[in-house]
Amino acid sequence: MVRLKVLHLGKYYPPDRGGIETVLEAACSGAGPCIEPRALVLNKGRRTVHETVDGVPVTRVASLATVGAVSLTPSLAWWLRRAEADVVVLHEPNPMALLAYALARPAAPLIVWFHSEVIRPEWKYRLFYEPLLNRVLGRAARIVVAAPPMRDVPALAACQDKLVVIPYGLDSRAYPPPAAPAADESAEPTVLFVGRLVAYKGVDVLLRAMAGVQASLAVVGDGPLRGSLEALARELGIASSVRFLGHVSDADRLEWYRRADLLALPSVSRQEAFGMVQVEAMLSGRPVVSTALPTGVPWVNRDGESGLVVPPGDVDGLRTALARLCGDRALRASLGAQGRARALEHFTARRMCAAIDELCQAVGQPQRALAEPPGAGLFSPKRALDVALSGAGLVASAPLWALIALCIKLEDGGPVFYAQERSGLNGRPFGVRKFRSMIPDAEAATGAVQATEHDPRVTRVGRVLRATAMDELPQLWNIFRGDMSFTGPRALRPGEIEVLGGDRVELLEDVPGFTRRASVRPGLTGVAQIYAARDITRRHKFRNDLLYVRRQSLWLDLRLIALSFWITFRGTWESRGKKF
């Protein structure tokens, strides 16, 4: 059996613990027999470490420094580029992973597991983070969210057709049925908080709400706000009933769920997208008090079914809910039992892993995607040549863009550009723009059909543009971005057909050699574009493409580029015979 190689690109991996790390570990350790998982994550130290954690290969890439919550790992793109994978699963938010993916552009299909929004000052987000995120989301085959409300996240507005809901899940075997309540009715209830001590968790709101509640509070977790929160507890006069436990072992954390009477998750920001600790409490048979955020938090903990839900930041509302549960043992038991039943039905690791495995199999292929040959990847001479020439071409041709746009507008007043979707490396789609050389809506009746000699759809300006290949100038941007190269097989359109005569048509994806030619980045020019006659069938042109795939080299690329400039100078790109 050929196992699908799934690479999880995450931030950290246990024993570094957090909500995303818990999900990542569960997805890897719970993968089915058809999946071969491995994790590529950041290391908090300055050394790259390869290890196996519970049977899962984990590479922790060296970090040079930490700025805020971001570990700077400049070599992550290199490790990603050389990793063998049929599918890459990128766990977001993760700025270093986004940057590494944008640089490495691995050939394997991409799934983005969108765990939560990034909440930053708007100008910083729009200037730095949003362009990078949008670029990666645009390349994703599917985007996973953990709850239906996450579909409405503004960052995902343009990706609705890619979204898949897969709720988080935990290994229910680690959470046996809860013990019967203690017989001592006079025992003071214990409220539990589990999580990092950061602003969006709302622990300051919880401390203020605890003033006046006959219960003790156990705070499991650590973070930069611990000192100020301990000071707040003293200021409120509740320090004697609040225990700050810091980091604890996994076993101790589970023990605290069993000892506590309820869990409080008082988060105040959309950064709390799901609240995995809610599932831990529910599996432990403990009711939850959480907040009505516009995320998956209140979807997981249903008000009146598995716990109580209050407005975020509402001290009085939170105090009322805590006091109600702390004062009603029967209600705690009822909500706890219902919450456990809900978690066992919807939030188990088995369900989550089966769903993500199925999605990976649908997106990927049983065998590793065809890789580009040596020298075609990140920081290679070919890529350096592409970046240098396309960058120079974009600057040098700017005046020509204005002239072409003016001529197109003067001829028929239609749009200047024509947008298309093309198939890139391993069939991955990307968008291109060309200067419009045909009448508006030229393909409305025919679909994606290649232009023929004396095609009536081609405009007068278009004939000049096509003869000199000036209509392709906007694709310099695609080369600069890395969607294309200067040299390679022509970038086909998904679903493109060829008319063979006698009303017969052929889907180009069915032509022998299609898959092999897709194993390299498509090019603006190439062997087939230069040497093949204009009107021969795609089957013959594909042979030229395959010749390039077998023999490609930097010298061949330079020769093809030089010939292309000569053909443009002669204006013979549309010639049905020899072009030079």
Domain boundaries, the chain: 4-169+351-363, 173-343, 381-570
Report pLDDT for 124: 65
The pLDDT assigned to 68 comes to: 66
Q: What values do phi and psi take at 499, rounded to 5?
A: -85, 120
Average pLDDT, the chain: 86
- pLDDT band at residue 227, thresholds of 50, 70 and 90? very high
Q: Give pLDDT, residue 165.
A: 92
Average confidence (pLDDT) over 257-266: 96
Cα 252 off chain centre by: 33
Q: Note the pLDDT tens digit of each residue in 458-500.
A: 899 988 988 999 999 999 999 998 889 999 998 887 656 555 5
Query: Could you say which of 3.40.50.2000, 3.40.47.10, 1.10.1740.10, 3.30.450.40 is the CATH number of the domain covering 4-169+351-363?
Result: 3.40.50.2000
Of 85-94, 176-185, 294-303, 540-549, which range is least confident? 176-185
User: What does each C-alpha distance from 354 to 38, 77, 114, 225, 275 come to in angstroms?
Assistant: 17, 29, 18, 38, 21
Distance CA 449, CA 442 (A): 10
218: nearest Cα among 192, 237, 240: 192
Percent of the chain whose predicted confidence (pLDDT) is above 90: 54
Dihedral sign from CA coordinates of 345, 348, 350, 351:
positive
pTM value is 0.64
What value does the mean pLDDT take over residues 202-230? 95
Amino acid identity at 343? A
Where is average pLDDT lowest: 271-275, 292-296, 312-316, 507-511?
507-511
398-418 in b/e form (b: 16+ CB < 10 A) is eeeeeebeebbeeeeeeeeeb
According to DSSP, residue 489 is labeled S
Residue 369 has pLDDT above 50, yes or no: no
Q: Higher-confidence residue: 436 or 536?
A: 436
Name which residue leads in pLDDT, 314 or 155.
Answer: 314
pLDDT category of residue 560 using cuts at 50, 70 and 90: very high
Q: Tell me, what's the pLDDT at 563?
A: 93
The CA distance from 388 to 381, in Å, is 10
Residue 195 has pLDDT above 90, yes or no: yes
pLDDT of 330 over the 90 cut:
yes
CB 17 within 8 A of CB 50: no
* pLDDT at residue 113 is higher than 90: yes
Query: Which burial class, exposed, middle or buried, applies to 391 when counting CB atoms under 10 A from its CB (0-12, 13-18, 19+)?
Result: middle
173-343 has the same fold as 4-169+351-363: yes
Of the CATH numbers 3.40.50.300, 3.40.50.2000, 3.40.50.1110, 3.30.365.10, which one belongs to the domain with range 173-343? 3.40.50.2000
